Amino acid sequence: MVKMKDVAELAGVSSAAVSRYLNGGYISADKAARIKQAIELTGYVRSSQARALRTGSTKLIGVIVPKINSESVSRITAGIGQVLGHRGYQMLLANTDNAPDRELEYLDLFQNHPVDGIVLVATMITDEHRAAIASCHVPIVLIGQNVEGAACVYHDDFEAAFELGHALAGRVDGKIAYIGVTEEDRAAGYDRRRGFEAGLGAAGVVLDPELIRRGSFTLDSGYRASRELLGEVPDVSFIACATDTMAAGALRAIDEVRGMGEGIHRVSGFGDNAFLRALTGGIPTVHYGYLTSGVEATNMLLNTLDGVEGESGLKTLKLGHQLMNV
Amino acid sequence: MVKMKDVAELAGVSSAAVSRYLNGGYISADKAARIKQAIELTGYVRSSQARALRTGSTKLIGVIVPKINSESVSRITAGIGQVLGHRGYQMLLANTDNAPDRELEYLDLFQNHPVDGIVLVATMITDEHRAAIASCHVPIVLIGQNVEGAACVYHDDFEAAFELGHALAGRVDGKIAYIGVTEEDRAAGYDRRRGFEAGLGAAGVVLDPELIRRGSFTLDSGYRASRELLGEVPDVSFIACATDTMAAGALRAIDEVRGMGEGIHRVSGFGDNAFLRALTGGIPTVHYGYLTSGVEATNMLLNTLDGVEGESGLKTLKLGHQLMNV
DNA sequence: TATCATTGTGTAAGCGATTTCAACGACAGG
DNA sequence: CCTGTCGTTGAAATCGCTTACACAATGATA
């Protein structure tokens, strides 16, 4: 592998000159030309490892996600990747498979090590998480949760759920059920459930605690919870779910129990999944700018890292949402 | 940041001893104990950058994908990530957004630089690709295409499509149409289209060239191609698509033109998308072990890198498939 | 003419690990 | 007692790059 010294010798300069040429330091025009030629001739590329050791910067951003094969996460990731690519960084992806302790593990691994910054697509935030985030040696931005004391890019799940609940209250007659997710996930669990209840409440509809069930983000869990619900409470009229994926499961359950095509007007979700939209013509749901959240979070992070002027660095950013099909 | 020298001093040994302790070289029991204690006391973690510079190995695997927010790719990626995690490697993810030249770019970037190996989730393989792969300095495994002279983990798209075509020929009456993707994608474009035609042919059904259209992997393109098709040839009876995602678009188009629920029995796809399966009860499609292909490819790659005995290293592996709902 | 920025340049000192090398004590065999 | 082997050790040489520093020119300013 050709190294800087080789290039320097070929160009008849010192390796310091080559380094300066590469990094934009003082260099005379003729030497610059000779170096340029020497680099092209040898096909030299500088060792990012040596550079990293010397400068302490790797141009790598650690991205921690709970699950890669999910529409929302992969959209967020697409947004992150877009920005990183544009700005000369690369993405080190860590998938925790929904295990919050693996999040901590990666947080630990990353901060000591090879990354310049971290984007955490967050689900459950425990005290341990807060501690880990606070003691992080590199800048970190969270996506999806609003955590005090950390830079966050998030959506207002309470408000969105409120609006959805309020809108649905007027349109649905009969019993409304809600299938949520773990409330340890503040945004998708707690806020959505509470917001939805509050929204219904504001329209004078009470959500019967008996009709609140719990799933786990998967289509299958939405399906199972719905079957159970329909079995126990046959006259349920509408099933609201905490995610579109779960809503797809609910849809399937209703179709099975009540006949094909029955489910479409009897479920709602969150996330505005493209597949679901196309196949059903659109159930009531909330559109979040997932890609945008990835973009915004990453820009914020890189602005601090690159010391971009005019940008106030890490802060908390609430993105908007949009009610669909209500 | 505490470094090896600090640990060594605290333990009263040389840094060489600490390094040996960490890497399993000669070390006496008592020194090992002292070093262990010193490490715990200081919370020392070794700099992977310095290590990388010295050893030339980064424990990083470059993963190049055409698109991150797609079910098949994210499943493959999940499989890759699983294995990497288990075996102490990390994933450097590069998303090319379906731009084959960005694939080349990353191939170039990766091979000279910080990764120990590459997994390429391949779509179009041009001669440039072949050249880049052949001249790659680090081991590389392709997923999804069978390329002569490269290690590949792939599915037999021709055979799968043949079986699907053959099975459908007996079940469908009336005109069958096919919406494919670019034939530069040998597996998903060329092989599927040809296999499907051959399968129909073997059952005595001819696929009218007028009824072969072209889309681009997206739901929307499947929708548009189908609308066009239905407009031009109103008596089309069945639309086979090159991917489930496109089939979802076709489904929507048929529902729009002929009434809700009509599409379900009139489309087929490839890939066995979970959402589509749940929402439709299952259209004819082919199930591929996407996660498995990620797992197998990565194991193969790491086996060569780690020099695992008994494994014959990089080779080409054809995975099975399964016809669904026919 | 003396003084001082300004611009270029090379030398050499690291960054923090791994690894070669020579050396050393102990102990067994001859 | 000498020699060879084994297990163990630290000093020192890298790995390839960046950058502080010293030192020249050169031209501008007083």
pLDDT digits (tens, 9 = 90+) for B6-47: 999 999 999 999 999 999 888 999 999 999 999 999 999 999
How far is C-alpha B110 from the geometric centre of its chain's CA atoms?
A: 18
Interface contact flag, A53 B69, Cβ < 8 Å: no
Q: Which of B50, B82, B275 sits opposite A248 (nearest CB)?
A: B275
* CB-facing half-sphere around the CA of B98: CA atoms within 13 A: 10
Q: Which nucleotides of D are covered by protein (CB under 7 A)?
A: 7-12, 14-20
Over range B112-134, report the average pLDDT.
91
Using C1' positions and the CA of A3, the closest nucleotide is: D16
Residue B114 CA, nucleotide C15 C1', distance (Å)? 18
Look up the pTM and report it: 0.91
Mean pLDDT (chain B, rounded): 93
Q: Which protein residue's Cα is closest to nucleotide D7 at C1'? A: B26
Burial class of residue B162 in the structure, from the number of CB atoms within 10 Å of its CB (0-12 exposed, 13-18 middle, 19+ buried) = buried
Between A and B, how many residue pairs show a Cβ–Cβ distance under 8 A? 144
Using C1' positions and the CA of B44, the closest nucleotide is: C16
CA distances from B223 to A248, B57, B122 (A): 20, 47, 25
Interface contact flag, B74 A78, Cβ < 8 Å: no
Residue of B nearest to A67 (CA): B78
Count CB-CB contacts under 10 A for residue A227. 17
Report the pLDDT value the prediction gives residue B55, as an integer from 0 to 100.
94
Report the pLDDT value the prediction gives residue B69, as an integer from 0 to 100.
84
How far is C-alpha B72 from the geometric centre of its chain's CA atoms?
A: 7
Residue of B nearest to A81 (CA): B95
Report the pLDDT value the prediction gives residue B112, as an integer from 0 to 100.
67
Q: Which of A68, A114, A252 sits opposite B74 (nearest CB)?
A: A68
Checking if the pLDDT of A309 tops 80, the result is: no
Report the pLDDT value the prediction gives residue B310, as an integer from 0 to 100.
66
Distance from CA of A66 to the nearest CA of B (A): 11
Using C1' positions and the CA of A19, the closest nucleotide is: D18
Q: Rounded to the nearest 5 degrees, what angle is found at the Cα of A166, between the Cα atoms of A154 and A228?
A: 85
Query: Which residues of chain A have a CB within 8 Å of the CB of B49?
Result: 49, 52-53, 56, 58, 113-114
How far is C-alpha A264 from the geometric centre of its chain's CA atoms?
A: 28
Interface contact flag, B93 A95, Cβ < 8 Å: no
Over range B204-230, report the average pLDDT.
96
Checking if the pLDDT of B311 tops 80, the result is: no
**Contact flag, residue A1 CB and nucleic strand D, below 7 A:** yes
Over range B293-297, report the average pLDDT.
98
Q: Rounded to the nearest 5 degrees, what angle is found at the Cα of B25, between the Cα atoms of B22 and B31?
A: 70
Using C1' positions and the CA of A30, the closest nucleotide is: C8
DSSP alpha helix (H) spans, B56-141? 71-86, 100-112, 127-134
Given pLDDT bands bounded at 50, 70 and 90, which one contains residue A52?
very high
Asked whether the beta carbons of B42 and B11 are under 8 A apart, the reply is no
Q: Which of B53, B69, B94 sits opposite A50 (nearest CB)?
A: B53
Over range A35-45, report the average pLDDT.
94
Query: Which residues of chain A have a CB within 8 Å of the CB of B113?
Result: 45, 47-49
pLDDT tens track for A292-304:
999 999 999 999 9
Q: Which nucleotides of C are covered by protein (CB under 7 A)?
A: 7-12, 14-20
Checking if the pLDDT of B313 tops 80, the result is: no
Query: Which residues of chain B have a CB within 8 Å of the CB of A255?
Result: 281
Report the pLDDT value the prediction gives residue A310, as an integer from 0 to 100.
66
Distance from CA of B162 to the nearest CA of A (A): 27
Interface contact flag, A81 B71, Cβ < 8 Å: no
Helix axes B15-23, B29-42, angle to 10 degrees: 90
Burial class of residue B24 in the structure, from the number of CB atoms within 10 Å of its CB (0-12 exposed, 13-18 middle, 19+ buried) = exposed
Over range A173-195, report the average pLDDT.
96
